[in-house]
């Protein structure tokens, strides 16, 4: 049962991460299309990359948390540190 919950949580985290990355890319394209200023275009790309990094970091945090819960349950402890 816990394994299924962990798997579902990991799948959800991956899906959310993918959606955030897609939103970041779409937003970047909109920002690039609405300006001619090369600095603003570069800034839009940097913002996209930062949002993608944040999404990936959040996904990894959830996976690590799930793994810690699994390990805690396997060792008979009550929870996360």
Residue whose C-alpha is closest to residue 53's, from 25, 21, 31, 26: 21
Average pLDDT for residues 44-49, to the nearest whole number? 97
pLDDT digits over 9-23, tens only?
999 999 999 999 999
Q: Is residue 77 part of a domain?
A: no
Q: Is residue 20 part of a domain?
A: yes
Contacts of 68 (CB under 8 A, 6+ apart): 80, 81
Cβ-count burial of 37 within 10 angstroms (0-12 exposed, 13-18 middle, 19+ buried)?
exposed
Q: What percent of the chain has pLDDT over 70?
A: 93
Q: What integer pLDDT is reported at residue 77 of this predicted model?
A: 64
Residue found under tokens 């945090």: 61
Number of separate domains in the chain:
1
Cβ-count burial of 59 within 10 angstroms (0-12 exposed, 13-18 middle, 19+ buried)?
buried
Q: Is residue 46 part of a domain?
A: yes
Residue 22: which domain range? Answer: 15-68
Q: Is residue 5 part of a domain?
A: no
Report helix angle 2-33 to 38-74, nearest 10.
180
């Amino acid at each position: 049962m816990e394994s299924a919950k962990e798997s579902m949580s990991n799948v959800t985290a991956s899906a959310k991460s993918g959606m955030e990355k897609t939103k970041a890319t779409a937003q970047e394209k909109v920002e690039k299309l609405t300006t001619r200023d090369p600095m603003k275009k570069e800034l839009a790309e940097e913002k996209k990359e930062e949002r993608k990094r944040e999404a990936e970091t959040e996904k990894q945090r959830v996976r690590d948390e799930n793994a810690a819960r699994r390990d805690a349950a396997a060792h008979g402890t009550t929870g996360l540190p």
